[in-house]
């Protein structure tokens, strides 16, 4: 340990995680030249090359992979300890950085975040949307505290994170009042060949909904594919077609977008998850998100929509 420069080892760990000297230098607030020099010193100290270049990208050597496995365990444990001992003092604002999968309905996201915003302590909230793989990278880099997702992480990511099931809602169909009234009659056969607004995102409930349509021999007439759940509702408000949204936010969808409820599809479910790092304890804001949605689950089960 007396001969091992832990600071240089930490620099190597950050470079390995971010994939380039430039990205690591920006993260560490150093110049790329300085960081390259520190990396060269570490390689000389350890007696072996840690990286080799392939198509202008850095790739770990076999020796580098071995060193990284030790460094990764060391610095994750050190960060968990740091998280424990530097918890904010009472009264100091909690900083909450949340990743939200783009396929999650934004009204649902707000309801999931609301318990954290209602804590007695001030919460400084920052939200970032994106696909799950992108958000998981940010979570591992500690730029996010928690991810709200409509699917659990893949098996390859599971050992590095914790996943909490927050709640589940059936899906409902909506349209402008005139179209909704027409589609509610002789449902679901009334949907045949009618204009449907579909999400372009790979949301799990979409696969279930397509299967539900197919099982009832309903020909789906997709008039628009949109990768933003709020924009779909705007198109719905303009009468372009009918759309699907979680039953639990039925009242808000109808009120905010001036549409009417057509029907509930209990066979199609939207399940929501909170994903956190697997190291360290949660602060009060993250814990409020994990524990708060039980009220949402109850409102789903008791919904009289």
Q: Is residue 302 part of a domain?
A: no
The pLDDT of 245-256, averaged and rounded, is: 94
Chain segment 53-76, per-residue pLDDT in tens: 877 778 899 999 999 999 999 988
Residues 226 and 213 in one domain: yes
Residues 174 and 291 in one domain: no
Tell which of 48, 66, 85 closes a domain: 85
Residues 71 and 118 in one domain: no
What integer pLDDT is reported at residue 92 of this predicted model?
66
What integer pLDDT is reported at residue 147 of this predicted model?
96
Q: Is residue 263 part of a domain?
A: yes
Query: Which contiguous run of DSSP H or E holds residue 222?
Result: strand 221-226
Residues 199 and 249 in one domain: yes
Instruction: Tell me the CATH number at 29.
Output: 1.10.10.10
Q: Is residue 304 part of a domain?
A: no
Q: Is residue 75 part of a domain?
A: yes
Q: Is residue 120 part of a domain?
A: yes
Residues 134 and 277 in one domain: yes
For the chain, what percent of residues have pLDDT higher than 90?
A: 59
What integer pLDDT is reported at residue 188 of this predicted model?
95
Chain segment 77-113, per-residue pLDDT in tens: 888 777 766 665 665 678 899 999 988 888 899 999 9
Residues 152 and 286 in one domain: yes
What integer pLDDT is reported at residue 301 of this predicted model?
40
Instruction: Tell me the CATH number at 146.
Output: 3.40.190.10
Residues 182 and 113 in one domain: no
Alpha carbons 38 and 24: distance in angstroms, whole number: 12
What is the domain count for the chain? 3
Q: Is residue 1 part of a domain?
A: no
Residues 287 and 162 in one domain: yes
Q: Is residue 34 part of a domain?
A: yes
- Calculate helix-pair angle for 21-28, 32-46, nearest 10 degrees: 110
Helix, strand, coil proportions of the chain in percent (round to 5)? 45, 25, 30
Q: Is residue 237 part of a domain?
A: yes
Chain segment 283-297, per-residue pLDDT in tens: 889 999 998 754 444
Q: Is the pLDDT of residue 219 over 90?
A: yes
Chain segment 8-65, per-residue pLDDT in tens: 999 999 999 888 899 999 999 999 999 999 999 999 999 989 998 877 778 899 999 9
What integer pLDDT is reported at residue 305 of this predicted model?
34
Tell how strand 146-149 and strand 94-101 pair up.
Answer: parallel
Alpha carbons 10 and 75: distance in angstroms, whole number: 7
What integer pLDDT is reported at residue 304 of this predicted model?
37
Tell which of 85, 112, 134 closes a domain: 85
For residue 101, the enclosing domain spans: 94-166+272-297
Residues 201 and 279 in one domain: no
Tell which of 62, 85, 108 closes a domain: 85
Q: What is the mean pLDDT of the chain?
A: 87
A 10 A CB-CB count for 57 gives 10
Predicted confidence band of residue 268 (pLDDT cuts 50, 70, 90): very high
Residues 278 and 259 in one domain: no
Q: Is the pLDDT of residue 170 over 80?
A: yes
Residues 56 and 203 in one domain: no
What integer pLDDT is reported at residue 298 of this predicted model?
40
Question: Which of 72-86, 139-153, 272-286 has the weakest average pLDDT?
Answer: 72-86
What integer pLDDT is reported at residue 89 of this predicted model?
61
A 10 A CB-CB count for 16 gives 20
What integer pLDDT is reported at residue 118 of this predicted model?
92
Q: Is the dihedral of CA 25, 153, 270, 131 positive or negative?
A: positive
Residues 277 and 149 in one domain: yes
């Amino acid at each position: 340990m007396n001969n091992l420069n832990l600071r240089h080892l930490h620099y190597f760990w950050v470079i390995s995680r971010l994939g380039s000297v430039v990205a690591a230098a920006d993260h560490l607030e150093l110049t790329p030249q300085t960081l390259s020099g520190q990396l060269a010193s570490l390689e000389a100290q350890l007696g072996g090359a840690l990286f080799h270049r392939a198509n202008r990208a850095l790739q770990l050597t076999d020796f580098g992979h071995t060193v990284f496995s030790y460094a990764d365990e060391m610095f994750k444990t050190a960060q968990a300890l740091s998280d424990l001992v530097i918890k904010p003092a009472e009264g100091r604002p909690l900083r909450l950085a949340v990743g939200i999968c783009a396929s999650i309905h934004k009204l649902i996201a707000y309801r999931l975040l609301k318990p954290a915003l209602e804590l007695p302590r001030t919460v400084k909230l920052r939200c970032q949307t994106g696909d799950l793989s992108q958000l998981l990278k940010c979570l591992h880099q500690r730029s996010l505290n928690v991810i709200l997702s409509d699917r659990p992480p893949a098996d390859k990511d599971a050992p590095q994170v914790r996943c909490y099931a927050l709640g589940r809602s059936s899906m409902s169909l909506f349209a402008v009042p005139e179209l909704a009234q027409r589609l509610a009659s002789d449902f679901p056969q009334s949907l045949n060949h009618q204009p449907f607004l579909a999400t372009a995102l790979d949301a799990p409930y979409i696969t279930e909904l397509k299967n539900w349509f197919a099982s009832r021999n309903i020909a789906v007439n997709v008039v628009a594919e949109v990768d933003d759940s709020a924009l779909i509702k705007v198109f719905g408000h303009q009468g372009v077609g009918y759309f699907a949204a979680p039953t639990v936010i039925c009242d808000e969808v109808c009120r905010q977008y001036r549409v009417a409820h057509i029907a509930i599809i209990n066979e199609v479910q939207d399940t929501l998850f909170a994903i956190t790092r697997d190291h360290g304890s949660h602060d009060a804001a993250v814990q409020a998100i994990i524990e708060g949605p039980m009220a949402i689950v109850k409102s789903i089960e008791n919904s009289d929509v």
